[in-house]
């Protein structure tokens, strides 16, 4: 039995499926939803606007709010509560960086749009390869 499950979410349908899978298959586990906001950079579209914010952490929380609201809606369907964490950085690195605090990771097979997948790479594959805990990839 798993006590703590990490579910990275990016607002995609597949990340929502990952949360649903975690709640259905690990009903007694404490589930944490992690959203990673891209680190500020002049090279990455949406992340560039984060770089000009006075309060980067606050802006990251604001950007994560929609994902967390949807995650709470899904959890409510299972009469479950979730914890939420927002990170700033590269998604795969941030997810793997949190992995040691959990018994398993449940992640969608891909997320974002085609440009994100081409530019950022396959986050699920990287997490699967580098995670020190078991990873379930949901399609």
Q: What is the residue extent of each domain of the chain?
A: 4-37+65-138
Computed over every residue of the chain, the mean pLDDT equals 86
Q: What would the pLDDT profile of 14-33 be if each residue is shown by its tens digit?
A: 999 999 999 999 999 999 99
For 4-37+65-138, which CATH superfamily applies?
A: HUPs (3.40.50.620)
pTM of model > 0.75 = yes
Q: What would the pLDDT profile of 78-126 be if each residue is shown by its tens digit?
A: 999 999 999 998 999 999 999 999 999 999 987 655 544 543 348 898 9
The C-alpha atoms of residue 132 and residue 50 are separated, in whole angstroms, by: 31
The C-alpha atoms of residue 19 and residue 6 are separated, in whole angstroms, by: 9
């Amino acid at each position: 039995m798993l006590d703590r499950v990490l579910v990275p979410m990016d607002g995609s349908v597949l990340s929502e499926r990952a949360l649903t899978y975690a709640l259905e298959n690990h009903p007694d586990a404490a589930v944490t939803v992690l959203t990673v906001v891209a680190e500020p950079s002049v090279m990455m579209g949406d992340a560039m606007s984060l770089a000009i914010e006075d309060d980067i952490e606050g802006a990251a929380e604001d950007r994560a709010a929609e994902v967390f609201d949807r995650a709470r809606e899904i959890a409510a369907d299972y009469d479950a509560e979730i914890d939420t964490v927002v990170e700033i950085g590269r998604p795969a690195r941030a997810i793997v960086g949190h992995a040691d605090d959990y018994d398993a990771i449940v992640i969608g097979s891909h997320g974002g749009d085609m440009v994100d997948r081409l530019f950022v790479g396959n986050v699920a594959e990287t997490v699967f390869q580098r995670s020190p805990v078991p990873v379930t990839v949901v399609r």
